[in-house]
């Protein structure tokens, strides 16, 4: 997970499934050192924790067992009086999943698995996998290609159409 100071693991709990065939659950608890200072994303200034919010993220499975990360995430009070939650290093802002879980989900789809297949593999609904892919690719702008730069497989070059316009091309295999 790439934990760095001031974050550390306080406890790890494993709960067995009810039968030999059912999945268990691994819970990882993370905290930060008392007195730690945190910065607001858009400012270099460091602030002490104002209070904390309890959060939980779905993490990549531990073998066949679901895994969750739990943390009391500090909030900081800014000079204008607003209170903001600190960005944790293991998840995107506002996400309920760790970066590793999101990367694993996207990799499954990238390698040709359908959204429903990826969802079954990680034990999440296919719509959740679709939202993860949408969120993580939302900052990527499509690359403009002209029709002359797109290869034509099995077509003689004499039959290629003339380049007419630029088209956005974004491919996600399903």
What is the pLDDT, as a whole number, of residue 153? Answer: 42
Question: Binning pLDDT at 50, 70 and 90, where does residue 57 land?
Answer: very high
Question: In the numeric block, which tokens belong to residue 81?
Answer: 């009086």
What is the pLDDT, as a whole number, of residue 159? Answer: 53
Crossing angle of helices 99-110 and 126-137, in 10° steps, is: 100
In three-state form (DSSP H/G/I as H, E/B as E, the rest C), the secondary structure along the chain is CCCCCCEEEEEEEEECCCCCCCCCEEEEEEEECCCCEEECCCCCCEEECCEEEEEEEEEEEECCEEEEEEEEEEEEECCCCCEEECCCCCECCCCCEEHHHHHHHHHHHHCCCCHHHHHHHHCCCHHHHHHHHHHHHCCCCCEEEECCCCCCCCCCHHHCCCCCCEEEECCCCC
- pTM flag (> 0.85): no
pLDDT, tens only, 133-158: 886 555 444 444 444 444 444 444 45
């Amino acid at each position: 997970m790439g934990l760095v100071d001031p974050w550390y693991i306080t406890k790890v709990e494993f709960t067995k499934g009810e039968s030999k065939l059912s999945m268990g659950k691994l819970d990882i608890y993370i905290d930060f050192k008392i007195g730690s200072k945190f910065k607001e994303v858009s400012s270099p200034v460091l602030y002490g924790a104002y209070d904390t919010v309890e959060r939980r993220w779905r993490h990549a499975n531990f073998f066949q067992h679901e895994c969750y990360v739990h943390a009391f995430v500090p909030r900081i009070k800014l000079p204008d009086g607003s209170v903001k939650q600190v960005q944790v290093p293991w998840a995107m802002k506002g996400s309920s999943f760790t970066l590793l879980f999101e990367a694993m989900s996207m990799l499954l789809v990238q390698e040709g698995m359908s959204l429903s297949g990826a969802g079954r593999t990680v034990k999440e609904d296919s719509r959740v996998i679709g939202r993860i892919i949408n969120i993580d690719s939302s900052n990527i702008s499509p690359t403009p290609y002209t029709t002359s730069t797109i290869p034509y497989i099995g077509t003689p070059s004499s039959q290629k159409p003339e380049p007419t316009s630029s088209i956005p091309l974004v491919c996600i295999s399903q």
